A and B are shown apart, each in its own frame.
Chain A
């Protein structure tokens, strides 16, 4: 009889297929994985401690760097938390503009997730298609605020008014969206190799997803119909009419396909917002020094990768006493040690790509 031995491989912090500096210690027996241990913390920058020495408006650029692929969503979450604590009412036009920017950012982030899901499995071409379409959205951000990636867009009390060229570019992009989605479905979803490598792999059951506090597309792909924008709405999301796509099996293919369907829903929301947006000011009257009253608040929003939660404890001064940010990716990676054992090393990469984590949300 041949004697086999288990060896331990370090899929280290510098690796082309991990999405950033993520490290895993993997025990393999031949090609089959027997144990996975996550090691995070290689991008821990101490944002929560830095918040105690920055004023409230000075902290908005740091929330960009919390999730750099979905910067506006994190920005708006933080700004809405401070506004809830202070009791500030944002004007209608600002609310609609915030919704438009957040959904555009969601589409841009899902494009990268789709491109990386394919390129991690070896198909490098769709990644270039996704980057090309994402550049159109980044052009729209640059028109408005001047920056492509870490935008720092909303302010406490409102949002900036986009210029005249923004609206024709947005309408042109919305008209091209069905064609873009068809292209992705043609290259990636219908691709036989992609389907064989993701269907049935890495199933996460409904009960286990709820026990692990998983949120976002990972939870929806396991069959739970929960979206904070619909079930516990914030801002003006209760005025829009959209579906919540869910998966049936909870495997890698479902987690990927839920994101494609979410892009279609986001385009629907943007069209409704463009149709209904009223005229008016975009900034409320806020005092020059932002000094919320003493107290605490917890606000949660539907981030792109999971739910983001912001907990602020204020003691009445211009700097927060304690600021806590709950990141969806940090809690979603707990499923790796439970789901991966039994699959092969190639499947481990497919499961990690379908989770779509971003490291600053894990490490803050």
Chain B
């Protein structure tokens, strides 16, 4: 799908933020460091001509051999059919990144799920706690070095918390 205006703008943004630009199966991809993510999101929201102002998805991928976690944002728009993928890398030992809740209120539950399953902490999130797993679960299951508990352990009934 030809969208040369968008591709040019993403390439310029990549140069400005010292990131990389590539195109994967028709979708422009912008790779940056985790510290520059707020500038990238705000710039992409205000692109002239084809703004990417709808947050479609927010997720994370674990790369233990590079010692990195990539937080992936997919941005689309309700005024056109463009799509942009922004990948922000954070270190695996202490994954901290700025929260996008101020830009899009819908990022709230998506960031909580990322924290729950992958362990990425978001600065500025109003209520960062576990959402899909129970509160005293140990570990972050989607990481590659997580080991699932044995059958006997999973058959045991867990203790009910007082607020359930």
On whether the beta carbons of A334 and B56 are closer than 8 Å, the reply is no
Kindly identify which residue among B62, B78, B113, B117 contacts A226, using a CB–CB cutoff of 8 Å: B78
Whole-angstrom distance from the CB of B85 to the nearest CB of chain A? 7
Given A295-B24, A295-B25, A298-B74; A41-B57 close (CB under 8 Å): no
Given A213-B104, A326-B56, A334-B109; A40-B142 close (CB under 8 Å): no
Whole-angstrom distance from the CB of A334 to the nearest CB of chain B? 6
Q: In the complex, which residues of chain A have a beta carbon less than 8 angstroms from the beta carbon of B106?
A: 211-214, 331, 334
CB-CB contacts of B95-110 with A at 8 A, as 1s and 0s?
A: 0000000001111111
Docked CA distance A41–B132 (Å): 4
Q: In the complex, which residues of chain B have a beta carbon less than 8 angstroms from the beta carbon of A213?
A: 54-56, 104, 106-107
CB-CB contacts of B5-38 with A at 8 A, as 1s and 0s?
A: 0000000000000000000110100000000000
On whether the beta carbons of A311 and B59 are closer than 8 Å, the reply is yes
Q: Which B residue sits closest to A10, measured CB to CB? A: B164
Q: Which B residue sits closest to A307, measured CB to CB? A: B56
On whether the beta carbons of B85 and A298 are closer than 8 Å, the reply is yes
Docked CA distance A249–B108 (Å): 25
5 contacts between A and B (CB under 8 A): A40-B131, A41-B134, A311-B57, A311-B74, A324-B59
Q: In the complex, which residues of chain A have a beta carbon less than 8 angstroms from the beta carbon of B40?
A: none
Kindly identify which residue among A40, A300, A334 contacts B105, using a CB–CB cutoff of 8 Å: A334
On whether the beta carbons of B134 and A46 are closer than 8 Å, the reply is no
Docked CA distance A102–B61 (Å): 31
Whole-angstrom distance from the CB of B90 to the nearest CB of chain A? 16
Given A331-B106, A334-B105; A297-B24 close (CB under 8 Å): yes
Whole-angstrom distance from the CB of B86 to the nearest CB of chain A? 12
Q: Interface size for chain B: under 10, 10 to 19, 20 to 34, or 35 or more residues?
A: 35 or more
CB-CB contacts of A307-337 with B at 8 A, as 1s and 0s?
A: 1010101000000011010100011011000
Docked CA distance A79–B10 (Å): 30
Docked CA distance A84–B25 (Å): 8
Q: Which A residue sits closest to B82, measured CB to CB? A: A232
On whether the beta carbons of B104 and A309 are closer than 8 Å, the reply is no
Interface of A is mostly: mixed
Q: In the complex, which residues of chain B have a beta carbon less than 8 angstroms from the beta carbon of A363?
A: 132
Q: In the complex, which residues of chain B have a beta carbon less than 8 angstroms from the beta carbon of A40?
A: 131-132
Docked CA distance A211–B27 (Å): 23
On B, residues with C-beta under 8 Å from A are 24-25, 27, 53-57, 59, 61-62, 72, 74, 76, 78, 80-81, 83, 85, 104-110, 113, 117, 130-134, 141-142, 146, 148
CB-CB contacts of A81-119 with B at 8 A, as 1s and 0s?
A: 000110000000000000000000000000000000000
Given A49-B142, A334-B109; A224-B57 close (CB under 8 Å): no
Q: Which B residue sits closest to A310, measured CB to CB? A: B57
Q: Which A residue sits closest to B61, measured CB to CB? A: A322
Whole-angstrom distance from the CB of A11 to the nearest CB of chain B? 13
Whole-angstrom distance from the CB of B41 to the nearest CB of chain A? 13
Q: Which A residue sits closest to B105, measured CB to CB? A: A211
| Residue A6, interface by CB 8 Å | no
Given A49-B141, A334-B108; A324-B57 close (CB under 8 Å): yes
Q: In the complex, which residues of chain A have a beta carbon less than 8 angstroms from the beta carbon of B85?
A: 298
| Residue A183, interface by CB 8 Å | no
Q: In the complex, which residues of chain A have a beta carbon less than 8 angstroms from the beta carbon of B134?
A: 41
Q: In the complex, which residues of chain A have a beta carbon less than 8 angstroms from the beta carbon of B25?
A: 84-85, 295, 297
Whole-angstrom distance from the CB of A34 to the nearest CB of chain B? 18
Q: Which B residue sits closest to A233, measured CB to CB? A: B81
Instruction: Give 7 closest A-B pairs by Cβ, nearest first.
Output: A213-B106, A232-B81, A41-B132, A212-B106, A44-B132, A326-B57, A211-B105
Given A295-B25, A334-B108; A46-B131 close (CB under 8 Å): no
Docked CA distance A4–B68 (Å): 54
Docked CA distance A226–B148 (Å): 41
Docked CA distance A311–B72 (Å): 10
Whole-angstrom distance from the CB of B34 to the nearest CB of chain A? 18
| Residue A48, interface by CB 8 Å | yes
Q: In the complex, which residues of chain B have a beta carbon less than 8 angstroms from the beta carbon of A265?
A: none
